[in-house]
């Protein structure tokens, strides 16, 4: 299943490369100018996503090798995947699809 998702996501979705020469509104995804802190935070986020995605270790192996979350009755799985989608873009897509199906069945 992982390989199917891996092959179905176009390359441009897997790695978003931020160019320092790109216009600010293109890098930040909006029409309004942003202050320097917002710009730097956005570029840092994109750099982290890019470097983590292009890591030599397989995404699935990285995920399976991670320490488990502690049991918490208030754990929000959707929030966790949103926060970790840069680290695991393929698995995040799988989780969205699977959790969407489960939510519709409730």
Across the chain, what does the average pLDDT equal?
73
* Neighbour tally for 24: CB within 10 Å: 14
| 33-64 core/surface letters (b: 16 or more CB in 10 A; e: else) | ebeeeeeeebbeebeebeebbeeeeebbeeee
Per residue in 47-95, pLDDT (tens digit) is 766 665 555 468 888 899 999 888 999 999 989 999 999 889 999 999 9
Better-scored residue on pLDDT, 41 or 13:
41
Instruction: State residue 24's pLDDT score.
Output: 42
Instruction: State residue 9's pLDDT score.
Output: 74
Whole-structure pTM value: 0.51
Q: Degrees (nearest 5) of the Cα angle 47, 94, 90? A: 30
Q: Is the pLDDT of residue 4 over 50?
A: yes
Q: Is the pLDDT of residue 29 over 60?
A: no
Task: Name which of 26, 1, 102, 65 is nearest 34 in CA terms.
Answer: 26
């Amino acid at each position: 299943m992982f390989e199917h998702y891996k092959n179905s996501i176009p390359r441009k979705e897997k790695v978003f490369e931020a160019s320092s020469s790109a216009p600010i509104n293109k890098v930040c995804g909006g029409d309004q100018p942003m202050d320097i802190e917002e710009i730097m935070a956005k570029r840092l986020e994109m750099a982290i996503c890019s470097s983590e995605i292009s890591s030599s270790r397989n995404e699935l192996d990285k995920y399976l090798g991670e320490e488990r979350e502690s049991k918490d009755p208030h754990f929000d799985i959707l929030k966790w995947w949103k926060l970790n989608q840069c680290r695991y873009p393929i698995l995040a897509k799988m989780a969205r699809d699977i959790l969407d199906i489960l939510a519709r069945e409730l």
